[in-house]
């Protein structure tokens, strides 16, 4: 404790008896509000394109509260025993809606998007949604931004029968190929522009 101008100043990083008392019943409700590191999450909110950075910041905050184990616990894939058919139907509806409405933001990581879509597929499978592999593939392709249109056309025209994991790997390879060829395309366009300029100057 420090006395500053007659006021008691408490080190925000120090945990006292009152804090520890809250760690029992109801303590988790105030964890985020008391954690000085939550400013990291407030200033770096998840926006769909920063998954890696957001996950790292979340891990830092949870580790500070000794609750990092939460990140390692698997999510429940099925409803608990005793759940009603109405609860199961609603859960399946929510998962189906999330899967069909998912969209990849242009410029974001196709690998992270693929992993997200794969996890949704696995969840739907556990919920016995009854969708075929072709339907899963179609929805994933439809979730891609316009820059992947050439890939989609080639994929459909070739009539490829691929698993979802194989599709994701193909998308990652396609993105890497596009990045690699982009500089040469720019150089080619610049050369064409210069040639047109010379002809116009004659």
Q: Show pLDDT as tens, one digit a residue, over the chain (202 residues).
A: 444 444 444 444 455 544 444 444 444 444 445 666 667 767 777 666 677 777 777 777 777 777 666 666 655 555 555 556 778 788 889 999 999 999 999 989 999 999 999 999 999 998 888 889 999 999 999 999 999 999 999 999 987 788 999 999 999 999 988 888 765 544 444 445 554 555 555 5
> Given this model, what pLDDT does residue 39 score?
72
Backbone CA torsion sign across 176, 171, 125, 93: positive
* pTM of the full structure: 0.50
> Given this model, what pLDDT does residue 81 score?
54
C-alpha span between 52 and 18 (Å, rounded) = 35
C-alpha span between 36 and 13 (Å, rounded) = 7
The residue extents of the domains of the chain are 2-72, 85-178
> Given this model, what pLDDT does residue 86 score?
76
Helices (H), the chain: 17-21, 31-34, 38-43, 51-64, 85-101, 110-126, 133-142, 149-157, 164-201
> Given this model, what pLDDT does residue 55 score?
75
């Amino acid at each position: 404790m420090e006395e500053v101008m007659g006021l008691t100043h408490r080190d925000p990083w120090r945990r006292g008896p009152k804090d520890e008392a809250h760690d029992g019943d109801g303590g988790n409700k105030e964890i985020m509000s008391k954690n000085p590191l939550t400013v990291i999450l407030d200033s770096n909110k998840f926006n769909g394109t920063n998954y890696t950075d957001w996950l790292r910041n979340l891990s830092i905050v949870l580790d500070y509260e000794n609750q990092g184990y939460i990140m390692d616990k698997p999510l429940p894939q099925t409803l608990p025993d005793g759940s009603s058919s109405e609860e199961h139907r609603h859960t399946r509806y929510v998962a189906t809606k999330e899967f069909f409405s998912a969209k990849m933001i242009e410029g974001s990581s196709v690998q992270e998007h693929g992993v997200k879509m794969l996890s949704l597929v696995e969840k739907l499978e556990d919920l016995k949604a009854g969708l075929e592999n072709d339907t899963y593939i179609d929805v994933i392709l439809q979730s891609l931004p316009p820059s992947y249109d050439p890939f989609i056309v080639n994929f459909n025209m070739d009539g490829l029968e691929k698993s979802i994991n194989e599709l994701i790997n193909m998308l990652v390879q396609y993105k890497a190929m596009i990045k690699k060829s982009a500089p040469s395309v720019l150089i080619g366009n610049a050369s064409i522009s210069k040639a047109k300029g010379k002809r116009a100057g004659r």
